[in-house]
Amino acid sequence: MEQNKQNILIVEDEKLSRLALADILNSEYKVFLAKNGKQAIDMALEKEELDLILLDVMMEEMDGFEVCNILKQKPQTRDIPVLFISALSNTTNKVKGFMAGGVDYITKPFQADEVLVRIKTHLSLTALQKELENKNLILQDEIEERKQIELEHQKLIEELQSALSEVKTLRGFIPICANCKNIRNDGGYWEQIEVYIKDRSDVDFSHSICPDCVAKLYPNLDIKP
């Protein structure tokens, strides 16, 4: 079961508070302890992936706000939820903590039930957020895949249209009778030129008589231009 436990880093410069928090969490989580800001940053960057950080505000050399700001600038640690621990419960400090990147506050002296509830809440929120991000990535991949399929379909349609256009285009030498103007088809039979062309293209014919033929066929017909 140990390998399935989520990892929590407790950053607290007071030894008794640090051990008390560890005692509350040990049964449900894998706990790491840091006694100052520098150690916390090193552990967060070097240890196995952390699921949550409990960070004391008032520490020597580097306070919790500064530590949180640094962690939020690092790609490895910027998405880890940070819960501040402080005896200072005024609004100014809470706002400062949220602006630094914290997600919640636990006020000293802390109660075990409150600590556990707040931790479970934010771990659940983080898990849901990651699940949503993963689903969005899958959805984006599906959208890109559909776009690619549509592009391939469009390309295929264009290729088919081009092929049909090629089929309808007359090419090469066509045997044609010098007298009657009939054309010999692929089967060796002679057929009228309009039939031959119509079968091999999108052309339709309408019949009429040109002026020269009218004069030849009907010499007595008086047709003025």
**Mapped to the 3 state alphabet, what secondary structure does 54-67 carry?**
EEECCCCCCCHHHH
Do 118 and 22 fall within a single domain? yes
Proportion of the chain above pLDDT 70, given as a percent: 92
Do 97 and 42 fall within a single domain? yes
143 assigned to some structural domain: no
Do 175 and 125 fall within a single domain? no
Using the predicted structure, report yes or no on whether residue 143 has a pLDDT greater than 80: yes
CATH number for 37: 3.40.50.2300
Distance CA 19, CA 179 (A): 113
Number of domains in the chain: 2
Using the predicted structure, report yes or no on whether residue 66 has a pLDDT greater than 60: yes
Q: How confident is the model at residue 8 (pLDDT cuts 50, 70, 90)?
A: very high
> Which pLDDT does position 3 carry in this prediction?
62
The answer to whether the CB of 57 falls within 8 A of the CB of 84 is yes
Do 36 and 108 fall within a single domain? yes
Do 181 and 102 fall within a single domain? no
Do 63 and 174 fall within a single domain? no
204 assigned to some structural domain: yes
Do 120 and 194 fall within a single domain? no
69 assigned to some structural domain: yes
158 assigned to some structural domain: no
Q: What is the pLDDT of residues 152-203, one digit of tens each?
A: 888 888 888 877 666 556 666 778 887 777 888 777 888 887 777 777 777 7
Nearest to 110 by CA among 40, 18, 9: 18
> Which pLDDT does position 46 carry in this prediction?
86
Using the predicted structure, report yes or no on whether residue 1 has a pLDDT greater than 50: no
108 assigned to some structural domain: yes
> Which pLDDT does position 109 carry in this prediction?
86
Using the predicted structure, report yes or no on whether residue 224 has a pLDDT greater than 70: no
135 assigned to some structural domain: no
Please identify, among 83, 103, 129, the residue that sits at the C-terminal boundary of a domain: 129
Do 28 and 115 fall within a single domain? yes
Number of C-beta neighbours around residue 218 at 10 A: 11
Give helix 64-73 / helix 91-100 axis angle, nearest 10°: 20
Using the predicted structure, report yes or no on whether residue 16 has a pLDDT greater than 80: yes
191 assigned to some structural domain: yes
Do 45 and 119 fall within a single domain? yes
For 130, residues 6+ apart whose C-beta sits below 8 A from its C-beta are: none
179 assigned to some structural domain: yes
> Which pLDDT does position 86 carry in this prediction?
85
Mean of all residue pLDDT scores within the chain: 85
Number of C-beta neighbours around residue 45 at 10 A: 13
Q: What is the pLDDT of residues 93-132, one digit of tens each?
A: 788 888 888 999 888 888 899 999 999 999 999 889 888 9
Q: How confident is the model at residue 216 (pLDDT cuts 50, 70, 90)?
A: confident
Please identify, among 104, 129, 154, the residue that sits at the C-terminal boundary of a domain: 129
For 82, residues 6+ apart whose C-beta sits below 8 A from its C-beta are: 52, 53, 55, 68, 71, 101, 102, 103
Q: Domain range holding 94?
A: 2-129
> Which pLDDT does position 30 carry in this prediction?
93
Using the predicted structure, report yes or no on whether residue 208 has a pLDDT greater than 90: no
Q: What is the pLDDT of residues 76-92, one digit of tens each?
A: 999 999 999 988 777 88
Distance CA 203, CA 205 (A): 7
Do 185 and 104 fall within a single domain? no
For 69, residues 6+ apart whose C-beta sits below 8 A from its C-beta are: 100, 101
Distance CA 86, CA 57 (A): 6
